[in-house]
Structure 1
């Protein structure tokens, strides 16, 4: 059985803001021991729900391009900032594509 955490390795080369890698790692930690659901749709729903829980934001309902979360502030100019647009357009789709590859292969 494959684990959802397998999708998180390797980390992306590019992030939106400095809080993004911390959200990525927190999501991975939250999903430790979770088996990969059998369909891409289920994986996507799980990833979005985990992101929303970790980042404390409604991804579909939040109009702002980014949010600040103190727990992800570890230094630097955009520290603690989570780039929602990057999560919508690249980071979550990357994880879903990786899942698709594992489920198809």
Structure 2
């Protein structure tokens, strides 16, 4: 699971929308690298979406464009401190993680 969250090397690194995005990424990485691996892509997607919703405290699909996550606020972090970009996650980061999972678990497809 560690390779799914790689930010360097052969994998294309993620593009962040707001300052809370890398903190959400790290929280997901911490969870997935310390818990049993998902059994398949359906399990990964379900766990990924539920974990994101749990961390941000709301449904990503219906969340505002800039999601405030109090746990991610940093003193002197600027105006977007603690904010997660909904569209960045829906359109880029979640599909990136799902694609990486598929690639690692089905290398011939």
The equivalent residue for 2:90 is 88
Gaps of 5+ in 1: none
CA contact (8 A) 2:14 2:93 kept: no
The SS at the match of 1:82 is strand
Partner residue of 1:101?
A: 103
Q: Which secondary structure state, in structure 2, belongs to the residue aligned with residue 67 of structure 1?
A: strand
**C-alpha RMSD of matched pairs (Å):** 1.7
Structure 2 unaligned runs (5+)?
Answer: none
Match of 1:42 in 2: 43
Q: How much has 1:88 moved relative to structure 2?
A: 0.4
- Displacement of 1:8: 1.0
Task: Say how many residue pairs are matched.
Answer: 101
2:66 corresponds to 1:52: no
TM-score of the aligned structures, taking structure 2 as reference length = 0.81
